[in-house]
Amino acid sequence: MSLKHSLFHALAIKHQDEIYEYARYLLRNASDAEDVAQEVLLRAWSKMGTFNILSARSWIKRTTHNACIDLIRKREATTNKEYPLESIEQKPESADGPEKQAETQELQAYLHEVIEQLPDNLRNVFVLHELQGHNHRQISKILQIPVNTSKTHLMRARQQLRSQLKAFEPAHEK
């Protein structure tokens, strides 16, 4: 295996889930997110050696963001198709009773839904910071926004999330 192959392999293993997760929240669709993840990794493969491997994470995230935006624009231009929210993967059996499990699953699904329904600018910052662990300086580079804007968006996203989750009631309690 060549050095290029080895580096790419390491890069793909390390970042593929992050790329997919970010794309999934931006696109709100599993198969599109998978396509974007594939496209980003292929771009990474063809650009290997042209970008700094030490700042690969930011490069990858920026490329993912752009690929998602391109896809959203294409989607808007071609159809008015609604992309339904996919059901969240089944959680493995736990020691909790079935009622508790159902409630947890419901809350998980609701949480994903709430994040996905955040306004684009707030959601991008929230996912990058909260789920993917980027700091505001990195987010500012990835999204090309000022650091303070990133901070404000994060605060607003958190506030929206809190008020949305306060309204959550499990189905069986309604």
Residues in touch with another protein (CB under 8 A)? 12, 16-17, 20-21, 24-25, 30, 33-34, 37-38, 41-42, 45-46, 88-89, 91, 107-108, 111-112, 130-131, 151, 155, 158-159, 161-162, 165-166
With respect to another protein, which residue has the nearer C-beta, 46 or 80? 46
**With respect to another protein, which residue has the nearer C-beta, 75 or 112?**
112
Residue among 75 and 158 whose Cβ is closer to another protein: 158
Q: How far is the CB of 76 from another protein (least distance, A)?
A: 23
Shortest approach of another protein to residue 107 CB, angstroms? 7
Taking the complex as a whole, how short is the minimal distance between the CB of residue 111 and another protein, in angstroms? 6
Contact (CB, 8 A) for 88 and 109: yes
Work out how close the CB of 80 gets to another protein at its nearest, in angstroms, rounded to a whole number: 25
Name the residue with tokens 């931006």.
26
C-beta of 69 vs 111, nearer to another protein: 111
